């Protein structure tokens, strides 16, 4: 059985923004970041229960999980389980106000 990894548009933008930010200091580090994120996505798709469930006040975020990018531990992957894999919802630096980022967002499958 093949594992699925779905990266939502906001998560894709997060990855691009962090790549560009890191590349300002080191293009090698930016490439390592992107590869580490991809490897972590694969790890989570194979073992989706690795990440802990995150408690948000927003009930629409119930069941969202979090896991760190290996080698870039301040970068957090927020994902949820889907059939045969994961859906990456956001990839955020841990210094951000996570609750504020998710405050008004709906998860993609819950949008009307």
- Condensed to tens digits (0 to 9), the pLDDT of residues 73-92 reads 999 999 999 989 999 999 99
Report how many domains make up the chain.
1
- CATH code, 44: 3.30.2310.20
The confidence band for 111, taking pLDDT boundaries of 50, 70 and 90, is very low
Greatest mean pLDDT among 13-17, 49-53, 108-112 lies in: 13-17
pTM score, two decimals?
0.87
Q: Where are the alpha helices (DSSP H) in 24-96?
A: 27-46
Burial (Cβ within 10 Å: 0-12, 13-18, ≥19) of residue 25: exposed
Domain extent, residue 19, equals 4-110
């Amino acid at each position: 059985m093949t594992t699925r990894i779905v990266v939502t548009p906001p998560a894709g933008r997060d990855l691009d923004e962090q790549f560009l930010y890191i590349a300002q200091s080191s293009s090698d580090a930016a490439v390592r970041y992107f590869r580490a994120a991809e490897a972590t996505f694969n790890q989570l798709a194979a073992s989706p229960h690795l990440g802990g469930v995150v408690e948000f006040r927003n009930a629409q975020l119930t069941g969202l999980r979090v896991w760190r990018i290996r080698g870039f531990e301040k970068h957090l992957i927020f994902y949820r389980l889907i059939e045969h894999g994961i859906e990456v919802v956001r990839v955020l630096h841990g210094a951000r106000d996570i609750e504020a980022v998710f405050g008004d967002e709906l998860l993609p499958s819950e949008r009307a």
